[in-house]
Amino acid sequence: MSKSALLTSSIAKKYWMALTGLFLCTFLVGHLIGNLQLILKTGEEGRRAFNEYAYFMQHNIFIKVLSYITYISILFHAIDGLWLAFQNKKARPVKYAYNRPGTNSSGASRNMAILGTLILVFIVMHMVNFWAKMHFSHIPLHTTNKTVDMTVGYDEMGQEVRRKINFEYVLTTAGTYQEVKATDLETGNTSDMMEVKDGTMLYNLEKSGERNANGLKAGEGYKDLHSVVMGFFGQKKEGFPVNSLALWATIFYTISMIVLAFHLWHGFAAAFQSLGLRHKRYTPAIAFLGKTFAIIIPLLFAIIPVLLYLQIEL
Ligand code: HEM
């Protein structure tokens, strides 16, 4: 086979579709495990676990390479899938008199193309919802607050003056909580202890508010993607907008997962067929595994927005 036929012949395209499809199935498993933290862990622990996970996914070089392979696989899989469906349609312009999509491959591939296109629409919207925000827009850092009753000085009589001071802390990638701001709840006076630059970098400030002579870097904070996702599915988090269309977002995600289930129902086993892996004993087992995968994975994905929207904690 010539070099170009390796990419362009129908058989080669089916092969590549199968490989990219199976790779995307492994992506789905990894992505699901990461996202399940949104419902399996709650409170500050859940927020911390998810933001640490998101940071790791963005900074680990191995994961970065996998991400690029994922983007390329999605594009390849979608373009080849549409091309094959188009070729099938061209090769058989007259519809079957008795069309049973389950029993003829052009019906199945047409349905797969429609389902795949809907999934592509979902992925584009989904990337705009979270990925683009994470990469290209300003997301507040993961902060937490604590109010302490403390001595702030002495009056003329030498008596302690105590006030309620609220401290804002940023969780750093070193695992520590750094004080970034103090607010006197009585007077409203604030004093900044850290300056944030480039979105996540923390620099020390002198207590007076002047910049530290060395501009000492005090660490790096996490973007609070957890609160972005919570707000997207309707939960109120301080400093984050609540999505007024959260109900529609939840419905859209749920319907998209049903579409994904149908796509996987046929696609998983079909990929093994395209790779020529047929065996008396293993083919039925692969078909069973494919159908189980097609139900479990989208179902678990769909549960996440539904539970978040309904504010149900497990
Ligand atoms: C329904 C539950 C889901 C939630 C809560 C969710 C959440 C997220 C979040 C927060 C990100 C951004 C991560 C980052 O940029 O670091 C992301 C990225 C992404 N999601 Fe999802 N996701 C869900 C389902 C899906 C499904 C079903 C698919 C595929 C069909 C998918 C495909 C992607 C892709 C391709 C990316 C970009 C990954 C990368 O940059 O490596 N997601 N998702």
Q: Give the tens place of pLDDT for each residue, 53-79.
A: 999 999 999 999 999 999 999 999 999
**Residues 212, 117 share a domain:** no
Cα 298 to averaged position of ligand 1 atoms, centre (Å): 13
If asked whether residues 49 and 189 sit together in one domain, one would say no
Residue 238 — pLDDT band, cuts 50, 70, 90? confident
Domain boundary among 173, 188, 222: 222
Contact (CB, 8 A) for 34 and 53: yes
Same domain, 124 and 235: yes
Asked whether residue 210 carries a pLDDT value surpassing 80, the answer given is: no
**131 plus 150 within the same structural domain:** no
CA distance 309 to 251: 10
Note the pLDDT tens digit of each residue in 133-186.
Answer: 999 999 999 999 999 999 988 989 999 999 999 999 999 999 999 999 999 999
Residues 155, 88 share a domain: no
Q: Whose CA is nearest to atom 23 of ligand 1?
A: 301
DSSP the chain: --TTHHHHSHHHHHHHHHHHHHHHHHHHHHHHHHHHHHHHS-HHHHHHHHHHHHHHHHH-HHHHHHHHHHHHHHHHHHHHHHHHHHHHHHH--SPPSS--TTTSHHHHHHHHHHHHHHHHHHHHHHIIIIIHHHHHS---B-EEEEEEEEEEEE-TTS-EEEEEEEEEEEEBTTSPEEEEEEEETTT--EEE-EEEETTTEEEEB-TTSSBPTT--EEEEBPB-HHHHHHHHTT---TTSPPPTTHHHHHHHHHHHHHHHHHHHHHHHHHHHHHTT---TTHHHHHHHHHHHHHHHHHHHHHHHHHHHHHT---
User: Looking at the structure, do residues 100 and 214 belong to the same domain, yes or no?
Assistant: no
What local confidence, expressed as pLDDT, does residue 314 receive?
Answer: 85
Q: What is the CATH number of the domain that holds 101?
A: 1.20.1300
Number of domains the chain contains: 2
25/116 same-domain check: yes
Residues having CB closer than 6 A to ligand 1 are 31, 35, 54, 57-58, 67, 70, 119, 123, 126, 130-131, 134, 225, 229, 253, 260, 301, 304-305
Q: Does one domain contain both 47 and 120?
A: yes
- Tell me the best of 31, 32, 142, 260 to mutate to test the pocket of ligand 1, counting ligand atoms within 8 Å of each CB and taking the most: 31
Q: What is the pLDDT of residue 90?
A: 77
**pLDDT over 90 for what percent of the chain?**
69
Residue 208: the pLDDT is 47
Strand 201-204 and strand 190-192: pairing? unpaired
Per-residue pLDDT, 13: 87
pLDDT at 4: 62
% of the chain residues with pLDDT over 70: 89
Instruction: State yes or no: pLDDT of 104 exceeds 60.
Output: no
Task: Give the span between the Cα atoms of 69 and 75, in whole angstroms.
Answer: 10
Q: Please name the residue whose Cα sits nearest to atom 9 of ligand 1.
A: 130
Q: Cβ of 299: how many Cβ atoms within 10 Å? A: 12
Mutate to test the pocket of ligand 1, among 131, 137, 256, 309 (most ligand atoms within 8 A of CB): 131
* Range of weakest confidence among 27-31, 86-90, 132-136: 86-90
* pLDDT exceeds 50 at position 101: no
Do 18 and 114 belong together in one domain? yes
Nearest protein CA to atom 32 of ligand 1, as residue: 123
**Helical pair 61-91 and 105-126, crossing angle rounded to 10 deg:** 140
Exposure of 307 by Cβ count < 10 A (0-12 exposed, 13-18 middle, 19+ buried)? middle
For residue 304, pLDDT beyond 90: yes
Task: Let me know: does 29 contact 297? Beta carbons within 8 Å.
Answer: yes
Domain region containing 152? 143-222
Same domain, 241 and 129: yes
pLDDT of residue 209: 47
CA 225 to ligand 1: nearest atom: 10
Confidence of residue 278 (pLDDT cuts 50, 70, 90): confident
On average, the pLDDT of the chain sits at 89
**Do 73 and 120 share a domain, yes or no?**
yes
What is this structure's pTM? Answer: 0.89
Instruction: Tell which of 170, 188, 222 closes a domain.
Output: 222
Asked which of 199, 222, 245 is the last residue of a domain, the reply is: 222
- Ligand 1 atom at minimal distance to the Cα of residue 134: 15
Nearest CA to ligand 1 atom 7: 35
Judgement on whether residues 163 and 117 belong to the same structural domain of the protein: no
Q: Please state the rounded mean pLDDT for residues 273-280.
A: 85
